[in-house]
Structure 1
Amino acid sequence: MAFVGLMMSAGWCVAGEPIVLSDEVQLRPIEPGAWMVVHRFAGGNNSLLVQCVERRFVWVDTPCTEDATRLVHEWLARTFADPNVIQINTGFHNDNLGGNGYLLAQGVPCYGSDLTPRLIAECWAETVRKVLPYFERPENEKYRDILVHQKLVAPNRLYPLADGLMLKVGPETVEVHFPGPSHTIDNVVVYFRNRRLLFGGCMVKALAARGPGFTGDADMAAWPASAHKLLARYPDARLVVPGHGAWGDLALVRHTVELCRQYNERQR
C-alpha cells in the first residue's frame, strides 16, 4: 500500500545520479539498463523498469497514479527510440497498478494474476477506508482526495496465480512467482534470471523497516513462510528491490522473515 513508504528510509543501496521527473517522481539507476522508479505518494513507493534488450522493456508495478505513470512512460519514449513495454502487476493495491489505466490506453499490456481483478472489485474500497486515518496527517492531506476518488483498473493479461508466469523477453527470462500469501493474498515476485535481480515488491521489506507496515490485507500467519521460500527458490539473487525503501540483497528477505515473526509473536 502506498502509505507505508513513509516508514521506510535508505538501506545500503548504491545508485547513480537519480533522474528527476518531478518533485514526486524519479528514477534511480540500479545498474545499466535497470532503474528503481520511486513515486512519492505519502511516502516512497517503488516500481522497477528493466531494459531486457535494445528497445524492449519490462516494467514491474506502476507508480500510484496515472499522472506519475505518464511521466515515466513519456521519459522512456523520449530516451529510447520506439520502446516496447510490458507491465507486470504484483498485487491489487494502487502502488502495484495505479497507473494501469494510462498504460492500457497507450497499448501497453498489463499482466496480473487472475485473483487481482476480483480483489480490486471486492476489497479495494475497504482497503481505502482502513487507511484514510493515515491520510488525515497534515503532510498527507494532499494525497487523500486522490486516493478516495481513484478508480483502479485491472490488468488485461491474466494468468493463474498458483501457476505463475514465465516470459522470454529477448535474452532475458522473466519469472513471475507466487510463493504464498503475504502483504496481500495475491502478491507475487518477479525475477530477472540473467540479471539475478529480484523484485520482491510489498512482500519484501527494506533493511530500514522496523515492522511489516500495513497489515490490513495481509495474511500474517503465512507471510514468514512465504518470504522464506524466496531464499530457497532464488539463492543466487544478487539484487533485491522491495516495494518501499532501498534495494539490497537477500538480507532483505531474511529481514522480512524476522520482522513478520516478531510481529506475530507480539500478537499472541
Structure 2
Amino acid sequence: MYRKSFYALLVVALVFVHGRSQKTTTAYSSENLKIIPLTEHSFIHISYLYVPEYGRVACNGLIYMNSGEAVVFDTPTNDAVSEELIQWITETKEHQVTAVVINHFHNDCVGGLAAFHKLDIPSYANQQTLVLAKQEGYTVPKVGFEAKMELKVGNQIVLNQFFGEAHTRDNIASYIPSEALLFGGCAVKSMSAGKGNLEDANIAEWSATMEKIKKTYPHIQTVIPGHVDPGGIELLEYTRDMFKKK
C-alpha cells in the first residue's frame, strides 16, 4: 500500500510532467521502464508509481557502470521492473550488478529492493533508512552506515554520505567523482519545481543540507533529482534558495 505522502507529492507539477522531462534519447524503453544515457558509464533509470486520481508518477534512479561492474542508485518502483532493469544491465550491457544504494526510505526508492535481494545483490543505506523502512513495512536494505560509505566500482569510487535532513531525515547524496555526477534523490528539486511532498521533511534544515553538498563537491557537473529533469549545480542552489528562511 502506498503511503499518503505520495498523494501530497502529486500536487506539485514536477512529479507528473514527464512528457517534457528527461532527454529524448533512450538506451532502453518499455511500458514500465526507461533508461536514459548520460555518459558512457552513467544512465538514469525511470520507473513509475501509480497513484489514484493522478495516474503514473515518473521516478528517477541512477545506474553507474565501470569495468564490468554496475551500481544501481534507488530501485525501480516494484520487483518486476527491478528484474527488467537488472536483466538489461547484465545481458545487454554485460555488467554485473554489485550493489544497490538507497537514497531514503520512501517507496519510490525501495519498492523493487526484494528483486535485488533475491539475487544476493548487497544493498546499502543510511542506518536510519533501515529503521524507517522497517517501520513502514518496506523491504529493508541489508547494510547500514552512519555517516559516510565509499563503494568501489571497477577502478573508480562512489561516495555516499548523509549531509543532513531535508526531504526526509535519512536522505543521503551519492557522488561519482570520475563523472562529476551527483544523485541527490528527492531532496533535490528540478528547476521550476515546487516544494513537493513535505510529510517527512525537515524544512528548517533543508537549505543548509543543500549548501553542505555544494561546498563538499564544488566540481559537480550533473545533478539527478528524484523526479523530472537533471541539471547542474544550479539544482542545489535552486533547492537551497527555495527553503531559505525569509
* TM-score (structure 1 length as normaliser): 0.80
Q: Which moved more, 1:43-52 or 1:166-175?
A: 166-175
Deviations 1:80-123 (A, max 9, x none): 3362331000110111111111100011111112111211233x
**2:80 equivalent to 1:67:** yes
Match of 2:148 among 160, 164, 168: 164
Q: How does 1:88-99 map to 2 (within 5 A)?
A: 88-99=101-112
Q: CA deviation at 1:14?
A: 7.4
Q: Match of 1:255, SS? A: helix
Q: CA deviation at 1:173?
A: 1.4
| CA distance in structure 1 between the partners assigned to 2:24 and 2:119 by the alignment | 29
Q: Match of 1:218, SS? A: coil
Q: Match of 2:179, SS? A: coil
Q: State the partner residue of 2:192.
A: 208
Match of 1:19 among 17, 24, 27: 27
| CA distance in structure 1 between the partners assigned to 2:197 and 2:99 by the alignment | 28
Q: State the partner residue of 1:140.
A: none
Name the aligned partner's letter for residue 186 of structure 1. D
Q: State the partner residue of 2:139.
A: 153
Q: State the partner residue of 1:178.
A: 162
| CA distance in structure 2 between the partners assigned to 1:179 and 1:49 by the alignment | 22
Runs of 4 or more above 4 Å deviation: none
List alignment gaps of at least 5 residues for structure 1: 125-150
| CA distance in structure 2 between the partners assigned to 1:47 and 1:82 by the alignment | 17
Name the aligned partner's letter for residue 57 of structure 2. G
Q: Alignment identity in percent?
A: 26
The CA RMSD measured in Å over matched residues stands at 2.2
**2:36 equivalent to 1:28:** yes
| CA distance in structure 1 between the partners assigned to 2:231 and 2:144 by the alignment | 30
List alignment gaps of at least 5 residues for structure 2: 50-55
Q: State the partner residue of 2:66.
A: 52
| CA distance in structure 1 between the partners assigned to 2:224 and 2:187 by the alignment | 10
C-alpha spacing 1:188/1:82, structure 2 compared with 1 (3 Å): closer
Q: Match of 2:61, SS? A: strand
* TM-score (structure 2 length as normaliser): 0.87
Q: Which moved more, 1:1-10 or 1:226-235?
A: 1-10
Q: State the partner residue of 2:53.
A: none
Aligned length: 232
Q: Match of 1:174, SS? A: strand
Q: Match of 1:87, SS? A: strand
